[in-house]
Amino acid sequence: MLTMVVKSTPNSLPFGAISLLMGGLIYLPLTLYDQNCKSSIMACSVWPALLILSAIVMLLISPKITAQQPTYIYHECTNTSTFTPNSAFSINLNATLSSLLSNATLTNGFYNTSSGALQGPDAANGLFLCRGDISLSLCQACVKASSENMTTLCPNQKEAIIWYDECMLRYSNRSIFAVMEEWPTVPLSNIDDASNPSQFNKALSDLMGSLVYKAPDSSKFFAAEDVNFTTSNRLYGLVQCTPDIVSLDCRKCLVNSVSEIPSCCDGKLGARIYKPSCNIRFESYPFYTEASQPPLSPPPPRGNRKISSVTVITITVPAAFVFIIILSASCYCLLKRKKYEVANEGNGGNEFLVVESLQLDLHSIIAATSNFSEGNKIGEGGFGDVYKGTLHDGQMVAIKRLSESSRQGLKEFRNEVAVVAKLQHRNLVRLLGFCADEEEKILVYEFVPNKSLDYFLFDREKQGQLDWLMRCKIIRGIARGLLYLHEDSRLRIIHRDLKASNVLLDEDMNPKIADFGMARVCGVNQSQGNTSRIVGTYGYMSPEYALLGDFSIKSDVYSYGVLILEIISGKRNSSFYQSDYAEGILSYAWRLWTDGRPLELTDQGLGKSFHQNEATRYIHVGLLCVQEDPADRPMIGTVLHMLTNFSVLLPIPKRPAFCVRSRTVSSSKAMSSSVNEVSITALYPR
Ligand SMILES: *[C@@H]1O[C@H](CO)[C@@H](O)[C@H](O)[C@H]1NC(C)=O
Ligand SMILES: *[C@@H]1O[C@H](CO)[C@@H](O)[C@H](O)[C@H]1NC(C)=O
Ligand SMILES: *[C@@H]1O[C@H](CO)[C@@H](O)[C@H](O)[C@H]1NC(C)=O
Ligand SMILES: *[C@@H]1O[C@H](CO)[C@@H](O)[C@H](O)[C@H]1NC(C)=O
Ligand SMILES: *[C@@H]1O[C@H](CO)[C@@H](O)[C@H](O)[C@H]1NC(C)=O
């Protein structure tokens, strides 16, 4: 294995001229804009000042700017066989390279193509992969430079690979598509050492641990993020696989790359490891374009060697535009709202407007569901029946008609709906609106196409569609949704009925939690942690909730733990009770755990296609969540951290609570609501 030092050679242009030009261009339309909005000259006159300020800031942050140019890093000619000019392979190779180039802007940063008879010795198979964060034009420039340089760097070679900062291009007469390849491996390291290696390595392993999870889950097999390393320093990381391989192979390639860091680049402030199927990189400065975060929050270190010139332009220019768009939008909104508030004076203010905007007309709901016809019914449960419907604008929705028993005052109902509708997260089913009068109370939700988790998980045939990575994604997604309910939203919402049938799956099999906030909307006492009306489902309820009616975020964590074990085993907790040996999934899992063979819990259908360490860790975390004493169970934020960071040490689980047996179901207090598995949000026909 070879290790070398990365160098880069930026060339520069004066930056000030471009800033001024941009400032001028922006100022012009603004002047026009201001004339139209006479009512608020104040708000808009702040504009020029802000612009000048932002230009100055940009000037300070970016010492140099360059045109977009790809940077060559390394190449490898495998020297296995050569071809002669004008041979069949030579012609095929030219065709392949030009096809790659002509497709570079059409595809999403990856393309593979072949010329010549596919399996023949003269076939030229080629592919390129552009870094996930760069523009298509830069991608094309990089593919162009790669294919041009390739032929001079590896003349007459039947196989070669070249890496640029922005892309990788390879070709061979072998078949190289859809196979994971780790050779040749090229590690490159920075010369600078981290000043505090142990702290640095901790941050690095957190960062990489998270990235090797994220990339195989993403559509482009790409992930980039940063972590705090000290209070003033951040660490930036990027990982990517070629998207032609399967995600399990992607993960494997990335994990192997990360495990090579200590041998090539221990304690270095930055490094890259390139393999044909994947690559990883970390630096102490931002070297990629961030999609969501405000770029360049910490100024990058000055000096040519470190800051990539391409980064400067790809970050600052879009940043300036985004900044401007946001500002003009907020200015516009400000004006709009001023007028609106004046018009609505005396009508009760903002909360009122929110409620109004959520209110739907009963007639349109009757029309959408063909008057709540049986054919449109997709589920039923303790709170009422659920119907599928199409609103007049064509939007598919799920409509929940609350049953008689869940009555509360109209005013409270409206207010609670407004509160629940504000809870928005990608792992929560969104509440879109409601309809209420003295007779009917109806909730309208976004329609989630792929039915619920139990539909897949507990069905012998459909189970196969949930591979290991998908299950991991679902487990983590549910934790994220729950974390939002427990800690991140303005209110703390305890779900109280988390179970497989309350987890819906969207078209990409992302989990979305349904039925949160029902206790609020239906007026079940939410203020104290004790209730006489228990809304949970048998098998998922913590003992203190099932027996005493004590609920807390820790009872949700318990339900989540049961869910983890169900997802890993592919078995319904309650199915254990129906079988001959009356043992719940918890005691079964616990027995395997204490016997030192936890992996026997995993779904047989998964075969060997899962990571043993990962599976053991998930089971471990599941067992921590179902411990008998609520105080022993971790908070959901901790759970998520344990699931995504392999470096976190896990405590030893204590014996779980086994007491929720069939006996408790018949006890008078426990069951007044959705005791059966058919719940309100089982959004699919049965
Ligand atoms: C291929 O040959 C070139 C020139 O002889 C050499 O520099 C290079 O290391 C060789 N590559 C491999 C993978 O052996
Ligand atoms: C890629 O380029 C070739 C021509 O070079 C063209 O025939 C093919 O349709 C392109 N592929 C896509 C996906 O556009
Ligand atoms: C790209 O590779 C896939 C296999 O992953 C293959 O099915 C497809 O035909 C290839 N595309 C081209 C244009 O050769
Ligand atoms: C690639 O070309 C070499 C030399 O012509 C030949 O020996 C080898 O079999 C070819 N490989 C494939 C997979 O056709
Ligand atoms: C990272 O550090 C910054 C600045 O010290 C701080 O504002 C931020 O909250 C920290 N983020 C994390 C995830 O610790």
Measured in degrees and rounded to the nearest 5, phi and psi for residue 308 equal -75, 130
Confidence label for 576 from pLDDT (cuts 50, 70 and 90): low
Which CATH class name applies to 72-172?
A: alpha beta
What would the pLDDT profile of 162-190 be if each residue is shown by its tens digit?
Answer: 999 999 999 999 999 999 999 899 999 88
Distance 103 CA to ligand 2 centre (A): 6
Distance 228 CA to ligand 1 centre (A): 41
Q: What is the pLDDT of residue 49?
A: 57
Residue 442 vs residue 64, higher pLDDT: 442
How is the chain split into domains, by residue range?
Answer: 13-67+310-339, 72-172, 186-283, 355-446, 453-664
What would the pLDDT profile of 578-609 be if each residue is shown by its tens digit?
Answer: 443 445 788 889 999 999 999 999 998 888 78
Query: Which residues form the pocket of ligand 5, taking CB atoms under 6 Å from any ligand atom?
Result: 228, 231
Statement: residue 577 has pLDDT above 50: no
What would the pLDDT profile of 454-482 be if each residue is shown by its tens digit?
Answer: 999 998 889 888 999 999 999 999 999 99
What's the token pair of residue 603?
A: 């779904």
Amino acid at position 331, single letter: C
pLDDT over 90, % of the chain:
39
Collapsed DSSP state (helix, strand, coil) of residue 77: strand
Confidence label for 46 from pLDDT (cuts 50, 70 and 90): low
Residue 373 vs residue 607, higher pLDDT: 373
Distance 90 CA to ligand 4 centre (A): 13
Task: Tell me which of 3.30.200.20, 2.60.320.10, 1.10.10.10, 3.30.70.1350 is the CATH number of domain 355-446.
Answer: 3.30.200.20
Q: What is the pLDDT of residue 22?
A: 56
Q: What is the pLDDT of residue 72?
A: 93
Distance (Å, whole) CA 554 – CA 535: 16
Q: How many residues does the chain have?
A: 686
Q: Which fold has domain 453-664?
A: Transferase(Phosphotransferase); domain 1 (1.10.510)
Distance (Å, whole) CA 319 – CA 55: 11
Q: Which fold has domain 186-283?
A: Killer Toxin P4; Chain A (3.30.430)
Q: What is the pLDDT of residue 42?
A: 41
Contact of 671 with 665, CB cutoff 8 Å: yes
Q: Whose CA is nearest to atom 3 of ligand 5?
A: 231
Give the list of residues 6+ apart from residue 179 with CB closer than 8 angstroms, or none: 245, 277
Closest atom of ligand 3 relative to the 178 alpha carbon: 5
Cβ(606) – ligand 1 distance below 6 Å: no
Distance (Å, whole) CA 50 – CA 58: 12
Contact of 96 with 114, CB cutoff 8 Å: yes
Q: What is the pLDDT of residue 657?
A: 72
Q: What is the pLDDT of residue 685?
A: 28
Confirm whether 72-172 and 453-664 share one CATH topology.
Answer: no
Cβ(244) – ligand 3 distance below 6 Å: yes
What's the token pair of residue 108?
A: 């999403």
Amino acid at position 334, single letter: L
Statement: residue 134 has pLDDT above 70: yes
Residue 357 vs residue 333, higher pLDDT: 357
- Average pLDDT for residues 96-110, to the nearest whole number? 91
Residue 49 vs residue 89, higher pLDDT: 89
Cβ(76) – ligand 3 distance below 6 Å: no
Statement: residue 666 has pLDDT above 90: no
Cβ(94) – ligand 2 distance below 6 Å: no
Q: What is the pLDDT of residue 305?
A: 35
What's the token pair of residue 442?
A: 């109806």
Q: Which residues are catalytic?
A: 497
On average, the pLDDT of the chain sits at: 77
496-511: burial string, b at 16+ Cβ within 10 Å, e else = bbbbbbbbbbbeebbb
- Average pLDDT for residues 490-501, to the nearest whole number? 88
Q: What is the pLDDT of residue 71?
A: 92
Statement: residue 228 has pLDDT above 90: no
Supply the pTM of this predicted model: 0.47
Statement: residue 291 has pLDDT above 70: no
Distance 13 CA to ligand 5 centre (A): 34
Distance (Å, whole) CA 528 – CA 286: 47
Statement: residue 142 has pLDDT above 80: yes
Q: What is the pLDDT of residue 470?
A: 93
Of 92, 96, 111, 177, best ligand 3 pocket probe by most atoms within 8 Å of the beta carbon: 177
